């Protein structure tokens, strides 16, 4: 027999998955705008605000389930996981907004050397794929898919530090391009970290096992 709390948990899961889809859309819009030299700040800001509103609604739902019912250990594990994931999805929106704001203030990659655009594009594609995996693994509770992010996260870290080394070697002068790109690769590295946090939560949610994918 299904319990009343089970219905609520299903509703919460649906709310969080919708957040994930919007978070992916927000990050993709921001990164593509930066790479293709398109202004996206207003649109990304609206999406980020929507994510925050959705997060408040989802958190209220989680607290309602705790207050109205008597969650057992597995229920509390699910609620804890969802609340952590909700936070990470809002961070996607925050970093996406930061990237769009950097473009608005300093410009994108139009005046940068080709190697800079190539590096940023490669890292962006890798990070965006991580965001997609984090959303898909949550939707399907696919722990195997979630665990694939461990290796990808290491690759992103390597790309991040390699880019900083190349920047020192090839672009010693400080320009808008160097400032802009350094900030953006840092945001990319942080988005990648939050993708792994989400996948760690997915594994915990599905199995009860605490893993570290970083």
Dig out the tokens for 125 from the structure.
């594609």
Q: How far is CA 176 from CA 59, 179, 181, 182, in A?
A: 40, 5, 8, 10
Q: How far is CA 178 from CA 63, 109, 181, in A?
A: 45, 10, 5
Alpha carbon dihedral 62, 81, 157, 106, in 10-degree steps, equals 0
Report whether pLDDT(94) > 70.
yes
CB 210 within 8 A of CB 146: no
What pLDDT, on the 0 to 100 scale, is given for residue 3?
Answer: 86
Q: Cα angle at 200 between 196 and 205, to 5 degrees?
A: 145
What pLDDT, on the 0 to 100 scale, is given for residue 101?
Answer: 97
Report whether pLDDT(39) > 80.
yes
- Count of all residues that appear for the chain in the document: 214
Dig out the tokens for 57 from the structure.
């609604």
pLDDT class for 133, splitting at 50, 70, 90? very high
Helices 176-207 and 73-106: angle between axes, nearest 10 degrees = 170
User: 4-207, what's its fold?
Assistant: Methane Monooxygenase Hydroxylase; Chain G, domain 1 (1.20.58)
Residue 148 is given by DSSP the state T
Rounded to whole angstroms, the Cα distance separating 16 from 24 reads: 12
* Average confidence score pLDDT of the chain: 95
Encode 25-49: b = buried (16+ Cβ within 10 Å), e = exposed. Answer: bbbebbbebbbeeeebbebbbebbe
Mean pLDDT score, 44-70: 97
Percent of the chain past pLDDT 70, that is, above it, reads 99
Query: Where on the phi/psi map is residue 174: left (φ > 0), alpha (ψ -120 to 50), or beta?
Result: beta
pLDDT class for 214, splitting at 50, 70, 90? confident
Mean pLDDT score, 59-78: 95
Report whether pLDDT(174) > 90.
no
pLDDT class for 1, splitting at 50, 70, 90? low
Residue whose C-alpha is closest to residue 149's, from 88, 86, 107, 61: 88
pLDDT, tens digit, 9 for 90 and up, residues 182-201: 999 999 999 999 999 999 99
What pLDDT, on the 0 to 100 scale, is given for residue 171?
Answer: 76
What pLDDT, on the 0 to 100 scale, is given for residue 2?
Answer: 75
What pLDDT, on the 0 to 100 scale, is given for residue 208?
Answer: 93
């Amino acid at each position: 027999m299904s319990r009343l709390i089970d219905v609520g948990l299903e509703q919460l899961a649906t709310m969080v998955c919708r957040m994930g889809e919007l978070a992916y859309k927000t990050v993709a819009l921001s990164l593509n705008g930066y790479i293709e030299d398109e202004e996206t700040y207003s649109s990304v800001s609206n999406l980020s605000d929507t994510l925050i509103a959705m997060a408040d609604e989802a958190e209220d739902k989680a607290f309602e389930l705790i207050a109205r019912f008597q969650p057992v250990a597995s229920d509390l594990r699910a609620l804890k996981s969802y609340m952590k994931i909700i936070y990470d999805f809002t961070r996607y929106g925050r970093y996406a907004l930061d990237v769009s704001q950097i473009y608005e203030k300093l410009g994108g990659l139009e005046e940068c050397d080709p190697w800079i655009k190539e590096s940023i594009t490669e890292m962006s594609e890798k990070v965006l794929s991580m965001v997609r995996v984090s959303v898909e693994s949550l939707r399907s509770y696919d722990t195997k898919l979630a665990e694939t992010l461990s290796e990808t996260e290491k690759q992103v870290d390597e790309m991040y530090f390699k880019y900083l080394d190349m920047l020192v070697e090839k672009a010693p002068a400080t320009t808008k391009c160097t400032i802009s790109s350094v900030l953006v690769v840092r945001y990319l590295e942080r988005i990648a970290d939050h993708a792994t946090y989400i996948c760690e939560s997915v594994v915990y949610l599905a199995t009860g096992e605490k893993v570290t994918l970083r």
